[in-house]
Structure 1
Amino acid sequence: MNSAALFDLDGTVMDTPAAIVASLTEMITPYGVAHPEPVLRAQIGRPLDSIVDTLLPEATVVDRDEAKQRFRVSFSAQTLPDARHLIHPGVSELLEHLRGNGVAIAIVTSKITPSAIELLLAAGIREAFDTIVGHDQVQYGKPHPDLALLAAARLDVAPAFCVVIGDSTDDIRMGIVAGMPTVGVAWGVSEAAALTDAGANLVAADLNSLTAELDRMLLKTGTSA
């Protein structure tokens, strides 16, 4: 395998933002804290530790641990039973298409690895990915390059021959700093204009355009864009 596709998970592969917002609300409510939905949505794609810092800045160490556990229990309850239906339409076919053409595939996510694997197993698509790289495996998460570079190293693919696919500006910035081409997807948490402003080589409006662009970048003409 000499090329690789590095996918973000929440909002890109799976339609989980609504469950994340609901779980964040459940996480902070016992502490008498409330934040408007735009503030909660802005946390999507960030590591949970950083989210707790932002939403519960006065929390004690014990409160922080309890809050994170409350979030994870709530999120699992909302997503795992129906996980197969949370896969964005066409994503499974895209993954199969890429694998069939020899492209290595990774998940690079701000989730901790066990949580990401649990969700992918419930959705029935764990085996579509050659490696899962979660926030717990690196020192610095998105938008730092660590997640993407670790995935590339595991797949034995040079960064220039990897493409980062994500729905947030941090995904795009991570890919750029890692020396990788980037494709934003317009069905997640960030607007297309924000993804373009962050430096995405392209923003795909739908799965058809994403498939066509990945074919061009990974299968036909390399990753130059």
Structure 2
Amino acid sequence: MLFDLDGTLIHTAPDLVGALNDMRREDGHDPLSVEALAPYCSYGGRGLLGRGYGLTPDDPGYREAYDRFIAAYRGRMTQNSRPYDGIRELVARLGTAGRAWGVVTNKVEALAVPLIEFTAFDPAPDAVIGGDTAGVSKPDPAPILLACERMGVDPANCVYVGDSDRDIVAGRAAEMPTIAAGYGYIPVDDDIAAWRADAVVDTPAELWEAIVRLQPDQPIRRI
């Protein structure tokens, strides 16, 4: 069982947006609301700097702004971020069923690992793959395949859950069933049905049923 991190496993928007607002206050701008910016948190610093400053990676000053954002986020990333309601219980259920689980995110490993460690899931994930761990990031399937290798599971016997089209594209390319997390950080103009996930859930409480439905005979146990 594999999960995206931001917007799927953990509600990280309060600290991601908080880091952007720390910058805006320093620069004499009013803060922006978490609700308005949460849909762009799936794109990390790039998405937030685009909405908060109108910057793109090709703009002069983008790299300096991005480095400022990462420094601000690193200093507060565990302040208000919490697992979505029901996720701890789901992880515990996976553990009881003997199913390996892991995280595959485009957040760099140096940020993803401390956040997961702080969250202290029980059981802890069997693998945490960041956006830089495999040398490429989603939608390339390599990070997902690396996670399966580290967990000791066959990709065909795994399921990937994410809240963006990149997640679903990567999961499908890895030839595993996919679940779209409709409760995550999805821009209002994004058509989740167009992602062609094998299942869509509106709340974390629906995940277990969707997992079992997609893998009824192969419980994703370690091999």
Closer/same/farther in 2, CA of residues 179 and 51 from structure 1, 3 Å limit = farther
Q: Would you say the 8 A contact 2:14–2:80 is kept in 1?
A: no
Map of 2:132 onto structure 1: 136
Closer/same/farther in 2, CA of residues 42 and 27 from structure 1, 3 Å limit = farther
Deviations 1:143-200 (A, max 9, x none): 1111111111212222211101011111111111111110011111127972321111
Closer/same/farther in 2, CA of residues 127 and 70 from structure 1, 3 Å limit = farther
Map of 1:103 onto structure 2: 99
SS in 1 for 2:159: strand
State the distance in 1 between where 2:111 and 2:212 align: 30
How far off is 1:68 after superposition? Answer: 3.3
Q: Would you say the 8 A contact 2:40–2:187 is kept in 1?
A: no
Q: Kindly indicate whether residue 10 of structure 2 is the aligned counterpart of residue 9 of structure 1.
A: no
Closer/same/farther in 2, CA of residues 20 and 126 from structure 1, 3 Å limit = farther
What is the percentage of aligned positions where both structures have the same residue? 28
State the distance in 2 between where 1:10 and 1:165 align: 11
State the distance in 2 between where 1:33 and 1:197 align: 37
Map of 2:117 onto structure 1: 121
4+ long deviations beyond 4 Å: 25-34, 36-43, 47-54
Q: Would you say the 8 A contact 2:179–2:201 is kept in 1?
A: yes
Flag structure 1 segments of 5+ consecutive residues without an equivalent: none
State the distance in 1 between where 2:197 and 2:44 align: 22
Letter of the aligned partner of 2:125 in structure 1?
F
Letter of the aligned partner of 1:131 in structure 2?
A
**Which protein has the bigger helix share?**
1
Give the TM-score of the pair, scaled to structure 1: 0.78
Residue 201 of structure 1: which of 198, 202, 216 is its match? 198
Map of 1:58 onto structure 2: 59
How far off is 1:25 after superposition? Answer: 5.2
Map of 1:67 onto structure 2: 65
State the distance in 2 between where 1:137 and 1:82 align: 26
Residue 44 of structure 1: which of 41, 46, 56 is its match? 41
Q: Would you say the 8 A contact 2:46–2:57 is kept in 1?
A: no
Give the TM-score of the pair, scaled to structure 2: 0.79
Q: How many residues align?
A: 212
SS in 2 for 1:200: coil
Q: Would you say the 8 A contact 1:46–1:142 is kept in 2?
A: no
Residue 170 of structure 1: which of 166, 178, 181 is its match? 166
Q: Would you say the 8 A contact 1:47–1:135 is kept in 2?
A: no
